[in-house]
A and B are shown apart, each in its own frame.
Chain A
Amino acid sequence: MIALAVPFAFGCIALALALNLLRLFRGPSLGDRIVALDTMVINVIGLIVLIGIAAANDTYFEAGLLLATVGFVSTVAYCKFVLRGDIVE
Chain B
Amino acid sequence: MGFIIELLIAALIVIGGAFALIGSWGLVRLPTLMERLHGPTKATTLGLGGLLVASVLFFQLGEGVWSAHELLITLFLFITAPISANMIAKVHLHRRRAGFVGEPESMAGIPPRPGGDGDWATFEAPRRGTPAATSEF
Contacts and interface: CB of A to CB of B under 8 A. Distances in A.
The secondary structure that dominates the A interface is helix
Interface in A1-38: 1-2, 4-6, 8-13, 15-17, 19-20, 22-23, 28-32, 34-36, 38
Contacts of B63: 56, 58
Interface in A32-89: 32, 34-36, 38-39, 42-43, 45-46, 49-50, 52-53, 56, 58, 61-62, 64-65, 68-69, 72, 75-76, 79-80, 82-85
Chain A CB within 10 Å, residue with most, of B17, B36, B54, B59: B17
Given A5-B14, A52-B55, A82-B95, A43 B24 contact: yes
Given A32-B33, A72-B80, A83-B94, A46 B51 contact: yes
Given A12-B20, A13-B17, A13-B21, A5 B10 contact: yes
22 contacts: A2-B9, A8-B14, A13-B21, A16-B23, A19-B28, A23-B27, A35-B27, A35-B40, A38-B40, A42-B44, A46-B20, A50-B17, A52-B55, A61-B73, A65-B73, A68-B77, A72-B76, A72-B83, A75-B87, A76-B84, A80-B87, A83-B91
Contact of B24 (A20, A80, A84): A20
Interface residues of B, number: 61
B77 A34 contact: no
Contacts of A1: 6-7, 10
A7 B37 CA distance: 28
B103 interface: yes
Interface of A: 1-2, 4-6, 8-13, 15-17, 19-20, 22-23, 28-32, 34-36, 38-39, 42-43, 45-46, 49-50, 52-53, 56, 58, 61-62, 64-65, 68-69, 72, 75-76, 79-80, 82-85
A32 B36 CA distance: 8
